[in-house]
Structure 1
C-alpha cells in the first residue's frame, strides 16, 4: 500500500481525484503529471482538463490498459496529448485510423525471458481494447500491456507454439503442429499460471492445430467466433472448426476433407485462415509440397449459407502461393507466388453469383515478366515470404525486410484508374551495424508479425526479443 506521503490529490475541472506519485510517474518524464508531488484534499493540484476523460486516463495509467468500453476516442487521445503522455502510451491508445505504414519507426525492443526465440506474435484487436501484445517463445506465452510497461506469462503444455491469437488483453489462444487442441492462456491477476483449458475437434481426441483466426464482436453469426484448422492424428482428414468464444464450445465444422486412397492431396489442411467481416467470408488456404511441386487449395466460405460447399475455390499448382491473405477494405485476395516471389491480386467483387467460380485469374501487381521467367525455370524465390493485410495496405515480409503495397489513384490524364504501388517500411532492404563494431551483418529473418492500433510487431529468427514499430502522429513522435 502506498504511504500517505505518496498520495496526490488533483482538482481536474472542478472534480477531485486521488492517486499516487507512482501512478502519475507512468505518464513519462515529459508529462507534467510525473512532476506532481504529494498534496492534500485541502490543497490539491489544479489541472485544466475534462474530468470524464481524465478519469479514463488515470485508470489507464493505473492498469496499463482501458478496463471498459468505449474504445479510445479522438477526444481521449487529445486529452492524453494535452497532458503530454509518453509516446508509447499515446501510441497504444491510437486507433487503427492513425496507422501510417510509411511512418512506421522502431519504438521499443521487448526482451524475453529464457533462451528460446519467439515463434509467434499477436496483437489484441483494437477496438475495443488498446493494442496489447502477446508473444510465444517456446511453450510460454507472454502478454505485454498496451503501454508495454508490464508483462504476464503463462506456461502452456506445448513444447513450442506455432499459432497465436490475442482475443483480449486477458485472453490469448495458442496451438502447435502435432499437438492436440487450442490452449487458452488467461492473463488476469486471478488466473492460474498455466493453461489447462483446451478446445478440441469433436470426434478426434488427437488433432493438430495449424492456423487460427478470430472474428470481431460484430463479425460472425454468433460472435465472437474462433476458427481453427485441424488435421486428424492419422493425417487422413482435416477440417476447420468454429468455436464460440463466449461458451468455449464448438458450433460448426467447416469443409471437412478426407483422404481417398493414395491421393493425400485430397485433404490438404488449411495453414492460413482469415476472416473478412465486411463480406462475411472465411478464407482457408493450405498447400502441400510433393516431388511434382507445390500444390495448394484456396477456399472462401460463406458459413451462413453452407459449411460444406465454398462460394469459391481454386487448386493451384503453377506458381502456387507461398502465403495468401485477404483484405476487407480493398475487397481483394493477395498472394505471394512460391516460385516467383511476386505479389498477385484477385478482385473479390468479381465473385460469381450462384454459379460458384467466378473470380478472374490472378493479376500480377509486381513484375509479371519476372514472375513468368521464375515459373518456367522452376525457381523457389517465394520460399519463406509472408503476406498480410491491415487497414488499406498489404504487407510482404521478404527475409528481414517489409514491403508495403498501397492503392493509389492515377491522374485523370493517366486514365484515373486505381493501381497498387510498392514501397518499403523503414529504410527498406539494408544492412545494419552491430553496435559499435565496424563489421556489418544482415538483419535477421522475420518469422512472425502482427498489426494492431497504430503498431506493427516483429519477431526475428534467433532473437530473444520482439520489435515494436509505431506509426505515431507528429505530436506523439515529439514525445518519444
Structure 2
C-alpha cells in the first residue's frame, strides 16, 4: 500500500498535476482517484478530462472548499465532472447549490463525532456562493468547524460555559453567545478572515458591556453584511437588539430597546429568536415568557430603514403562543408552531399595510384547525420543544426525533389556481445496526438543534455527542442543474 504522503503525478488532458495520495483519498472510497498510488513525472497516470475543471476539484480536495473569490456558484459542468469521478455523497452535496436542494431526497449521509463529553447545543451552516456548506457546532464551551468536504475539522475553546447561539460567518470565523455569559465571542478557525484580524475577541452592547446574548442572526448581504444580536442586561432590567457591521466588527445601530419597570416583566420580553428576511428588508424578532398564568409571547417585524423604535408589525400571543417561529423570504410568509396545539400556522407578509398591521387574526392554521382550537382551549402543551425553520421554498418542523417538511403547491386552474401548503414527512432517519445477520432499526433521540445550507441539513440530538448530516440524493442534484 502506498504511503499516505506518497506523491502522485497525473496527466489530465495533456497538463501535469502533482498531489499526494492523502489528498486524493478525500474523494471517498468509491472514487477511482482514491485508489491511485505513487507515480513519477516520467510515468504519470493519464486522465481524459478537462484540466481546468480538474484543477478546481483538486483544489477542493486540498482545502475542503472551493476558492471561488468573487466567482459565481459551481457550474453544471463542474458538478458533472465531480460526478464523473464518483466523489462521495458528502462531497457532491458540498459542491451543489442551494437551488439544487431537494428536501424529500434528504438522506442521513454522515455522523461527525465531537470531542469531549458535552452534546451539541447550537448549530450553524455557512453556505454562500463564496463559502460552500461548512458545518459549525457548539458543544459545551467548544466550537468546532467541519470543512465543506467533512474531511477536516478545527476547534476553538471559548470562555463560555455553554453556547446557546451560534452564527457561522465564513469557514474561518464563527460568532458564539451564551445566555449566562456576557458578549458575543469571536471564534477564529484560521487567519483567512481579514475582517476579524483586528477585531476584539468579544463584541458587546455598548450601553451594557455585561449584557448576555439571547439570539443572533446574520444579514448575509454582500455589500453590507451585518450581525443582529439580542442582548439582555445582567440584571434583566433592559434589553435591545444591536446591529454590528461584520466588516469592521463595530456596533452601528440599536433596535427596540426596552426597560423593565417594577414587576411588569411581560412589557419587555426580550427577543430569543432572530431572523433576517433580506428580500423584504425585515428583521424578525420573537420572544416569550412563561408564568403561572400561561405563556405569553411577542412577535415583531422591524424595518430598520424606517425606525429603530417602532416595529412595522407586532402581535402579542396568548391563546396558542408559539413554540417557535420563522420567516421565509421566498414564500413571503411567517410560520409558527403553536405551543399548545403543535400545529403549524402561517401569515402572509404581503398583507402588511402602512398602518403597521396585518389584522386582528393574522394566523391561518395550515394543519388541523379543529385540533388546534381544541388544544388551545384545553391549554395542552403538545407543541413544546417543536422547532421550525424556513429554507429556500420549504418549511421544516422538528417534532421529537422526526422531521416534517411543508411545501407550497398550486391547485389546478379549475380550483381557482390558489397555492396551498402541503405536509410531507422526511422521517427520523433511524440508524441501522447489523447484528447476527439481521438489520435492526434503532430509534433516534429528540432533535435539539439544526441548521440548513447548500444541499445539507445538519442536526444534533439530545445526549448525542455527534453531528448528524443529511444530504440530498446526488441524482436529484443533477436532475435540476
Q: TM-score range by the shorter chain?
A: over 0.9
Using the alignment, how far apart are the partners of 2:192 and 2:130 within structure 1? 22
Verify the 8 A CA contact 1:241 1:250 in the aligned structure 2. yes
Q: CA deviation at 1:361?
A: 1.6
Give the TM-score normalised by structure 2.
0.92
1:200 corresponds in structure 2 to: 204
Q: CA deviation at 1:119?
A: 0.7
Judging changes above 3 Å, is the alpha-carbon distance between structure 1 residues 5 and 260 closer, same or farther for their aligned structure 2 residues? closer
Using the alignment, how far apart are the partners of 1:146 and 1:445 within structure 2? 26
1:179 corresponds in structure 2 to: 181
2:137 corresponds in structure 1 to: 135
Using the alignment, how far apart are the partners of 2:476 and 2:105 within structure 1? 13
Q: CA deviation at 1:346?
A: 0.1
Verify the 8 A CA contact 1:64 1:146 in the aligned structure 2. yes
Judging changes above 3 Å, is the alpha-carbon distance between structure 1 residues 230 and 427 closer, same or farther for their aligned structure 2 residues? closer
Using the alignment, how far apart are the partners of 1:411 and 1:68 within structure 2? 42
SS at match of 1:53: helix
SS at match of 1:216: coil
Runs of 4+ in 1 over 6 A off after TM superposition: 2-5, 189-192, 431-435, 437-441
Q: CA deviation at 1:85?
A: 1.5
SS at match of 1:27: coil
User: 5+ unaligned residues in a row in structure 2: which ranges?
Assistant: none
Q: CA deviation at 1:78?
A: 1.4
1:338 corresponds in structure 2 to: 339
Using the alignment, how far apart are the partners of 1:108 and 1:444 within structure 2? 16
- What are the Cα deviations for residues 3-43 of structure 1, in whole angstroms up to 9, with x where unaligned? 99932222223322221222122222322222333333344
Q: Residues 71-470 of structure 1: matches in 2 within 5 Å?
A: 71-188=73-190, 197-218=201-222, 223-352=224-353, 354-359=354-359, 361-426=362-427, 436=435, 442-470=443-471
- What are the Cα deviations for residues 392-434 of structure 1, in whole angstroms up to 9, with x where unaligned? 1000111111111101111223332111011111368xx7777
Q: CA deviation at 1:255?
A: 0.8
SS at match of 2:427: coil
Judging changes above 3 Å, is the alpha-carbon distance between structure 1 residues 247 and 83 closer, same or farther for their aligned structure 2 residues? same
Q: CA deviation at 1:183?
A: 0.6
Using the alignment, how far apart are the partners of 2:191 and 2:350 within structure 1? 46
Verify the 8 A CA contact 1:105 1:426 in the aligned structure 2. no
- How many pairs does the alignment contain? 468
Using the alignment, how far apart are the partners of 1:4 and 1:130 within structure 2? 26
Using the alignment, how far apart are the partners of 1:148 and 1:414 within structure 2? 47
Q: CA deviation at 1:267?
A: 1.2
2:61 is equivalent to residue 61 of structure 1: yes
Q: CA deviation at 1:47?
A: 1.9
2:50 corresponds in structure 1 to: 50
Deviates more, 1:4-13 or 1:371-380: 4-13
Using the alignment, how far apart are the partners of 1:387 and 1:55 within structure 2? 40
Using the alignment, how far apart are the partners of 1:320 and 1:38 within structure 2? 63
Q: CA deviation at 1:177?
A: 0.6
SS at match of 1:181: strand
Q: CA deviation at 1:117?
A: 0.9
Using the alignment, how far apart are the partners of 1:190 and 1:355 within structure 2? 46
Verify the 8 A CA contact 1:214 1:226 in the aligned structure 2. yes
Using the alignment, how far apart are the partners of 1:344 and 1:279 within structure 2? 20
SS at match of 2:56: helix
Using the alignment, how far apart are the partners of 2:59 and 2:315 within structure 1? 50
Using the alignment, how far apart are the partners of 1:349 and 1:97 within structure 2? 23
Q: CA deviation at 1:72?
A: 2.3
Judging changes above 3 Å, is the alpha-carbon distance between structure 1 residues 23 and 433 closer, same or farther for their aligned structure 2 residues? closer
Q: CA deviation at 1:339?
A: 1.1
Using the alignment, how far apart are the partners of 1:289 and 1:157 within structure 2? 29
SS at match of 2:23: helix
Q: CA deviation at 1:162?
A: 0.6
Verify the 8 A CA contact 2:98 2:454 in the aligned structure 1. yes
1:28 corresponds in structure 2 to: 28
User: 5+ unaligned residues in a row in structure 1: which ranges?
Assistant: none
Q: CA deviation at 1:230?
A: 0.3
Q: CA deviation at 1:380?
A: 1.1
Verify the 8 A CA contact 1:98 1:472 in the aligned structure 2. no
Q: CA deviation at 1:205?
A: 1.6
Verify the 8 A CA contact 2:68 2:129 in the aligned structure 1. no
Q: CA deviation at 1:139?
A: 0.4
